Each structure stands twice: as structure tokens, then as C-alpha cells.
Structure 1
Amino acid sequence: MGEALLQQALTLAVRLPRGRYAVQRTCNVRIPMRDGVRLACDHYAPVGVERGPALLIRTPYGRNGPGRSLAEMYAQAFATHGYHVINQDVRGRFDSEGAFVAFVHEKEDGVDTLAWMGSQPWCNGAIGMWGPSYLGYVQWAAAAGKSPYLKAITPIITHSHLMEYQEHGFPLDLLLRWMFQLASMTDPSLSVWERLQRINDGAVQDRFLRAAFMHLPMQTADELVIGRPDALYREMSAAGPDHPLWREVDHRGAVAGAPPALFVSGWYDLFLDGLLEDYSVQERAGLQPRLIVGPWHHMEYGYMGVAFQEALRWCAMHLRNEPATRAEKPVRLYVMGANRWREFDRWPPPSRPLRLYLHGNGLAKTGRLFPHPSPAEASADVYTYNPADPTPNLGGPKLANGAGAVDNRPLERRSDVLVFSSLPLREDVEFIGPVQLELYVQSNLPTADFFARLCVVERSGYSRNICDGNFRVEPGRGEVQPDGSVRIVVAMSSTACRVNAGQRVRLLVASGAHPRFARNLGFLGNQTLMTEMRPAVQTVFHDAAHPSALVLPMV
């Protein structure tokens, strides 16, 4: 498949509207950084706009070429609407000089690139940034440098602290899969088609990564993925919560003082929670940000056309000082189940908590959800989690196709998964906002994971996941009860969903979602360095003294 055909397929899939300007591209422009390293970029100039506003796109995935056409496609499209666009390879990637160390150089390099752009005769000093995922993170990094030229940003499916210490489970799938994708992009032995498969096809990736996902110690799994140690992966896996690495690449402190942001995400995106946190910070700071959340996951194209259209309006307002084209509320959310968009004045919208209490009879897989607590004599549910046969992850937020909503019945049939279901609803119910599980638990080991997933069950039995989260119990985490059990609150992310009459609400409780969260090996300490594992006997209480409950934000 040729480069032109790939570009045409992407354009048709995303359907970017073209503006009225012809575009002239100047390739392989070299921009010097403060340390002398030169970064490669292409300049897309709208013919007839000698001086005007500009956009910057910075990518580690290749600014152009076969299989790397997304940034190029968007640069071209924005330029047709009258913006001078710089499309740049970040340090150490593709044609740019220097060594690529993910996250580390993006603040200084972003600021230096903005300063170069602002000094060009074709730039009027008003610059915006655009891009998803890592291309969104670099916007927060540049904003942390407080460039006077940066007037607006569009962070899509990302947040300001992509790399942070994960206290509730090491993100093994995300790190190994991303490492594999990055290496595949620059592997000269691969054909274009092989490269595309390794970058985009989750099933192909799984064939290469399966052994690495089960490898111990986890810290050396990088050698199975790319054939050599990866310095950043090794440092991340060894670093404790107080390591300076986390502070160096965490730009949360810049969010309140950054330019106003257009936030775009999906209910199944990997980085939704951090993006919602960033939005709330800007909203409280009075920056009047805008929030769009659709029914998407990280690797699908659904958000791209929406993000481009919204970005055109956002840039017109903040780079050209044009008035808003229509009156609208700042928050626009897609309500799954209702299958329609709704607008709100704030995030999260006003709601009241609906508690659905866990009921059971002491036998796994027969639990119920009711709006009243269990009786005092209700017995607990007990199951065994074996890290040698870890409870797998199905769908949900992950860096591959096959993410998002899937049928959870294969998961629900496992003996290490508890299932609690409501009766069929008599009327439609809608909930929008953060979901959480208040759970009373106990383990025979000093550390244990408790994974919770919310599902909606169709009349046919199809069990569709909505949102989920994981909590790692260790000394000091959770509230120890007089009987030795521990009360924990599992943050299950956020959603907007309607459960229709006849459908049921279902809760799954397990002790793993491997490899999305690396399996808990059962020992305290840094488990990425361990080679031993042991099974855990887990107890979930749901009686009058232990009122475990799913908490839904009713609107």
C-alpha cells in the first residue's frame, strides 16, 4: 500500500473539511534548540497569508511518510484554513537530532520552537498547539515554559502528567505496547504494511508481547519487547514515589497558568481521569476551557474529526480574536445508552449518589445489587487469585484496538471474578460523573488488588463494560476496621450512560486485569524486581456492618 493511498484512506476516514487556501510546504526546516541540537520540521504555509497566526504540532511518531501520515494530514488541513503550521519531529525521532528520552526534553524544546516561530516574518505572534496523546502532553510541557507566543492549546486524549507513579498497579500493557510501537516505527527491516500492523493491530502486538507480559522480573521485560534494555522503562520501574523523575515530567503545576485549553477525550480513553482533572483546574482558574467527551477509546478515529472541527473554532476565538460562532455551554458529553450529545454548564454536572448495595449468599457469582444494605447475617464471598493464572483484562481503556466496550461474559465465568447484578430496571436511569465502589475486603497476604468494573447487561445477556478501576491494598491504604477488614474506595473513572428499562446494572469484582495492571505477586515492595509469586485468598464483605456499595452519580 503506497503512501498516497494511506493518506487518502485516512482523509476519508476522518473527513477533515478543507478551507479556501492553497498550501505550500517547505520540507526539512531545521530549528536550533538552546543546546545546539536541531529539530526537523515542515512548514505548511497558506498561500496569500504573508503574516498571520500559526499552529505547532510536535510528534514522536514521524511528521510525514508511509504509516506516519496523521500529523501531516492535520498540518495540511489546518493550513487550508489560513494558519501557518509547523509540523515537527521531537528530539531524537526520525529526522531530528539528539537522543529521544520520552517526556524529558519537551518543555525546553517546545519553548525554543515557539520562540523561533514567533520570530519568523510569517508569524504575527499568536501561536496555538494541537494534537492527541503524546502530541497533547508536549503542549502542557511547552505551556510550563510560559512562552509569550502560546495563546491556545488543544490537548486531546492526554493530560499534563502522562508519566506518573502508579500506586494502584504498574501499567505494564501501556508501557510495553508503546515501547513496541515506537520501535516498530523506526525498524528499517519492516515493510510499510508490517510496520502498520505492529503499530495499529492489537492482535499482532499481542503475539509479540505475550511472553513479555508474563515475564518476571517485570523490569527486564523490555528486552523481550525491543531486544535491549530501555533506559526510561528501567528507571520508571525502579523509581519509588519520591523519585525526582516524576516531578521533572509532571506539568500539573502549569495547568492553571496555561493558555485556555480545548479538552477532547473519550469515555474509554486511557488518560480520561487526568484530562478531567486538568479541565477542572482550568475551570476553577477562570480560564473558560471547553470539554468534549465522546464514546471513544484511545486508538480509534472517531474523535479526530470532532477534535479538528472544534479546534478550528477554538483557534478562531483565541488566535484570531473572532467571537464564538454560537451560544453553547462549555461541556459537551456523549451519553452512551441514550446515544446522543448533551451540553452542561460544568463538570461534573449536578447529581445525587445512588447506592446499590452488594448482596450475596456466600457463593461466588450469585450476587445481587439492591438499593438497601444486606441483612446482618449475610455471609461474605471468598475467592482465590492466582498470579500464575492472572485474571485477564478485557476491553476497556488500553493502547490497542480491541479496547472500549466488549462482552464481559467470558470474564464473568471465571472462578476468580465475583458478579453482582441488579434486577431489570423498570424505567430509564441516567448517570453522569465519577463512579466509585465502597468495598470492605480482607486478604491473607499483606498486599492485594481489588478491581471493579461497571457493566450494563442487555436483555440478550450481553454484558457491556462502562468504566472500571483498581485499588492496591497495602499497609496504610484503606481504613482498617475493628474486625481486621479494610474499607477501600475504588475510583472507577467517570462516564455518561443511560441504562434503559429492561437492562440491568452489573458489578464485577476481581483481583486483577492483567496486563493492563501488572498482576499483584503477593509481596510488599517493588514488584517489578521480583521473580516469585503466591496466590491470595480474598474476602469481600457485604453485611450490615460492612455495607459494600456501588455509588452511581444520578442526574
Structure 2
Amino acid sequence: MSLVVQRVNAEPVPPDARQHMVRMRDGVRLATDVYDIGGGEPAPTVLARLPYDKNSRYVFFDKIAERFTAQGYVVVVQDVRGKFRSQGRTLGWTGEVDDAYDTLEWITHQPWSDGSVGMFGDSYYGFTQWSAVSSQHPALRAIVPRVTCTTNAPGIAAYDPGSGRQPVWLEGATYQAQVWTDRESYEFDVDLTRRPVLAAYEEAFDAIGQRSAGFDLIVGDIRLDPYNGPHPYDARPVPVLHCVGWFDNLGIAHMRDYTELARRPGWSAVQYLIADTTDHENYALEDAPVSRESDHFADDAALARMLDSYTAPAIAFFDVFLKGTAQPHTLPRVRWKLGHAGWRDSDAWPPPEATTAELYLAQPAATPGAVPGGTLVPSPADAAEEVEWRYDPENLVPSAAPVTFLQLRDHVDERSTLDRDDVLVFTTPASERPLDLAGPVHAVLHVESTAPTYDVFVRLLDLAPDGAARLIVRGCAQSDAAGELEIALGHTGYRVRPGHRLALMIAGSDFPNHLPNSGSLESPWHTTTPKASLQKLRTGSAHPSRLRLTVLSPARTSCTGEGSEPA
């Protein structure tokens, strides 16, 4: 049966928008919608530059524009170079610095513009905000990047670049193949069980009649430098409202941007953070698993509710830094949600009252097989202990969700994965009182392998009294040597409720989210016979494998806050 490929074409321009073809410095013209507020008086502008069709329901900018224009902001939405109605070569993460500058320059010369611009948006249209920062155009006064990062380009890890080499993120490769092939986008299901894996994508490109240059960069492990200006960290500071989802698949990298800028002179004074218990597509923990009535992709009332909470923080931020109708002190420096408890405000992140706690991996011989497995204890055992687990490319460990962009839509119960005999599981005792996680989480593991290259995937889960196991944070690393491996699992705000336990899971694969390791020096994209291997974990005082948490003090843990739920 041949692969079915569906082409996604541009939707009509909404009646309340006026499209312009805006000329860039090299003559390429970019399709740009303007949602004006009317009345003739110049006003501040909110700009979004994206590759997903500015008029599609997926980005719902006609509805977003209603919310901004009602508050006195002109809204400008642009298809980036090489996408949908815009001209130019289709290759993401290139040309965005110059195109941002030229678009900002065009805006400032329009009669409806008062010369000040803020930018807003998710994911790639968060990255285009960082490109605009790199351009250093003086009209850019504030940005609101949501679920995004400065580094997510082909050849650059989607996770924290400070964590070392990463397994190939297959979802990112599929995204390149579907979105960055030509001006349209394509929907198709890739059979990732094929060998070589590359053949599944080649079938799609044959059906489309065009290759994705960005996909080829990933396969070739070719780094793409997205900035032809200064890196945003080194550019002129502008106020930033970081909008982070604790369950976002780019959350590790986004929080790296926030924490790096929060300690840089000049930038630190204008960094703000809102962190919600949401995933990349704005599904929320309190709604998970999502019903039809709470699914904003399917239900218009749910979409309206989501868009109200989605745009309100940006409007309040722009009222301060674009309009000047409010003062900076009216904005909390950090507003974050503690999962299963409610919203909190803080002067910094992690909260000043948070402390670091380490739990050591013990009794590793009990880890393969059924929960509870090994234990997580306050101090390492004196004696050295070890355990092996296998990597079997013919029986891969399933991912926490088939699509991590939608991590919370189904909020998968992973108890069957924990019971596999090719994963290691360490658990805490059931908690007698709430345990509140508030900050970064790391796993520090002493590992080695029989293979010349191997992957380690780690998940921290909430293990409920009924045995249900659901993800809190996750991370991964790739190594070619024995020794200590530190894996960033990201930041979180999460309450482990009384009666629940933490479960730390360690595995050698994560499929279909990540490309299976070849188990050899052969490219995992090209291999037809990936090799099985054995990995070894060492514990004890000489090899202190451990879980590093950031927690609130018991006094703070026991309190409830605005919007809190009973413990």
C-alpha cells in the first residue's frame, strides 16, 4: 500500500484583515496581514511571523487579533519566507534576522503605527522573536516568546545544549519533512519501523516530488547557525515575558534561555516568567486526559476559553512596555503554577525558599520488572551495587506519548512500561504529606555499555495509589564512554500528593519520539541491522547515581494558594 500524503493549502484571508506583500531587502515579498483598530490614530503593533499559514485555524490569528485590537493594538501576522503566500526559498531558521528587521522597518512607516512594536507567539514564531532581537531594530520594545527557544534549529539539540550530545529527536525530523519541504505543508504517517528508517521519509519525498533541505541537514548532522546577527543573548536587551509549559517538549531549552538571561547584566532586569502546567499545544494538566468539551482543537467554546488565558498575560505585558498605561511593578517577576495545587507568585525562579534535595538510587538488583523496583533514598549505600538492562532494537521501549507536542491530551498511564524487564525503576515510599517540586530536576547516573554508542532516557513519574504512572519530567543523553552522565530533566512546578510516590525510570530507547540507536558506529538513519547491547548502572558511595530535585520547604509545601485544590 502506497503512502498517503495530504497537502495543506493556505486558507482564505479573513475579511477583517488586509494582506500586503511586503518587500524585503533582496526583493522577496512576504505575505503580511494587518488587523487595524480603526479610528485613524497611530497605535502600537503586535507582530507575529510564522510558517504555519497565517490564516489557518491551527494558529487562530483572526481570533487572537480580536483580543489584541479590542485593547488598542494593531496586529500584523506574516507568513515567513518560503511558506504559503510568501516568496523565497523554503528553509527554516534562515533569513529570519534580516526579514524581521525589514518587516519592523515597514511597520514603522505605516500611518497606523506609532513606531513601537511587540512580538508574540509560540514555537517557531517564538524563534522569530529571538531573530528580531538579534536584528536589533529600535522599534522592537518587548517580546512574548511562548513554548520556544533560541536554539531549536537543524543540527542543534531540541533539549538543553549544555547536556551534551542528544539522541536524534524523530518528531523534529518529521516536522522538518512535513512543514519545511516547500511553501505548503504535508500530512502523512511515517512508518518508523522500516529499515533503514530513512527509507520511510524518502517515500514521502518521492510522493511530494520535493525534498526538505532542513530534514537533510538533520540526517547529515550538519549544524545550522540561525543568526547572522549577534546571538540574542548578546544583543540589545528588550523586555521578555517567557511563557513556559512544564510539560512542553521544548521546555528544557526554553528554561535555559530564561535562566541564562536572568543572570546576565542588562537582561536580568527585564526578564519575566509565566510557567503553566501545559504542553506545547496548550493542553492543561487540570483537563488531562482531555474530554471533547475541553479540547480546543475540536470545540469552539474550549478554544475561546483557551485564547482568553493565552492572550491575557501578553496584553498586560504590552500595556506596560508598549503603551505605558501600566507600570512594571504591576507585573509579577515570576508567576508559576504548582501542578495539582494552583498559581504562585515569586520574585525569582526557582523560588527563594526552594532547596536542593538528592535521592540516591539503591537496591538496583530489584529494578528490572514490576514496580516498586529499587528505591530512592536520602544517602548512598556504602557497598557498590550494579544492574544491567538491555537495549533491543526489535523491542523498543514506548515513548511517554506518541506525539510529545500533545503530551497532556491523553496523559498516558505508563504503568505497563514501568513493568517491562528492559527498564530500571526506582521509587520513593508513599508520601504522607505533599511534596512540592519547584525548580530544575537532574539525574546523575554512572553508566556504561557494551556498545560503542548508547542512549539513556530518563523519566520522572507520579505513581498514584492505584498504580497509575504519569509523566512529570523527562530527559535523555547519548554517550560513547563509561562514567558519570548528568541528564537534565527540565524544570517543573508539581505537587506529589499524599499517598503518591515518585518513580524514576531509566531505559535505552524511547520510540517513536527518538531515532533508535544503531548500537554501532553505523548511522542510525542508514542501518538495516541495528545491534542490541547491554547497559550497566552502578550505584553506591563510590558511584553515587542520584536524582537531584528542587523542592519547597515543608512549611511552604503544606500551604495552599490562589486557585489551589485540596491536597
TM-score (norm 2): 0.82
* Structure 2 counterpart of 1:312: 315
C-alpha contact (below 8 Å) 2:117/2:139 kept by paired residues: yes
C-alpha contact (below 8 Å) 1:395/1:403 kept by paired residues: no
Structure-2 change in CA distance of 1:403 and 1:494 (3 Å): farther
Distance in 2 separating the partners of 1:460 and 1:490: 29
Structure-2 change in CA distance of 1:419 and 1:137 (3 Å): same
- SS of 2:405 mapped into structure 1: coil
- SS of 2:321 mapped into structure 1: helix
* Structure 1 counterpart of 2:345: 343
Distance in 2 separating the partners of 1:488 and 1:248: 30
* Structure 2 counterpart of 1:448: 454
- SS of 1:546 mapped into structure 2: coil
2:464 counterpart of 1:473: no
Q: Out of 101, 122, 125, which is 1:135 matched to?
A: 125
Distance in 2 separating the partners of 1:32 and 1:273: 36
Structure-2 change in CA distance of 1:361 and 1:261 (3 Å): closer
Structure-2 change in CA distance of 1:47 and 1:148 (3 Å): same
Q: Out of 355, 361, 364, which is 2:358 matched to?
A: 355
- SS of 2:65 mapped into structure 1: helix
Q: Out of 497, 519, 534, which is 2:531 matched to?
A: 534
* Structure 2 counterpart of 1:263: 242
Bigger mean CA deviation after superposition, 441-450 or 296-305: 296-305
- SS of 2:270 mapped into structure 1: coil
2:95 counterpart of 1:105: yes
* Structure 1 counterpart of 2:162: none
Distance in 2 separating the partners of 1:418 and 1:134: 35
Residue type at the aligned position of 1:299: E
Residue 172 (structure 1) shift: 0.9
Residue 92 (structure 1) shift: 1.8
Residue type at the aligned position of 1:371: P
**Where in structure 2 are there 5+ consecutive unaligned residues?**
1-10, 158-164, 285-305, 553-567
Runs of 4+ in 1 over 6 A off after TM superposition: 182-185
Structure-2 change in CA distance of 1:498 and 1:68 (3 Å): closer
2:224 counterpart of 1:233: no
Distance in 2 separating the partners of 1:127 and 1:28: 19
Residue type at the aligned position of 1:372: S
Residue 453 (structure 1) shift: 0.8
Q: Deviations over 1:196-238 (max 9, x none)?
A: xx5xxxxxx6xx12x1x23444455432344343111112221
2:334 counterpart of 1:324: no
* Structure 2 counterpart of 1:513: 510
Structure-2 change in CA distance of 1:301 and 1:32 (3 Å): farther
2:53 counterpart of 1:62: yes
Structure-2 change in CA distance of 1:135 and 1:251 (3 Å): farther
Residue 381 (structure 1) shift: 1.6
**Where in structure 1 are there 5+ consecutive unaligned residues?**
1-5, 8-22, 188-194, 199-204, 476-484
Query: How do residues 82-97 of structure 1 correspond to structure 2 at under 5 angstroms?
Result: 82-97=72-87
TM-score (norm 1): 0.84
C-alpha contact (below 8 Å) 1:405/1:466 kept by paired residues: no
Q: What do you get for the CA RMSD once the two structures are aligned? A: 2.7
Distance in 2 separating the partners of 1:502 and 1:184: 52
Residue 474 (structure 1) shift: 1.4
Bigger mean CA deviation after superposition, 540-549 or 311-320: 540-549
Query: How do residues 25-424 of structure 1 correspond to structure 2 at under 5 angstroms?
Result: 25-65=16-56, 67-68=57-58, 70-163=60-153, 164-166=155-157, 167-177=165-175, 179-180=177-178, 186=184, 198=187, 208-209=189-190, 211=191, 213-226=192-205, 227=207, 228-240=210-222, 243=223, 245-246=224-225, 248=227, 252-254=231-233, 257-284=236-263, 285-300=267-282, 304-324=307-327, 327-338=330-341, 340-350=342-352, 351-360=354-363, 362-363=365-366, 364-365=368-369, 366-376=373-383, 379-395=385-401, 398-400=404-406, 405-424=411-430
Residue 327 (structure 1) shift: 3.8
Identity %: 29
Aligned length: 501
Residue type at the aligned position of 1:347: W
- SS of 1:214 mapped into structure 2: coil
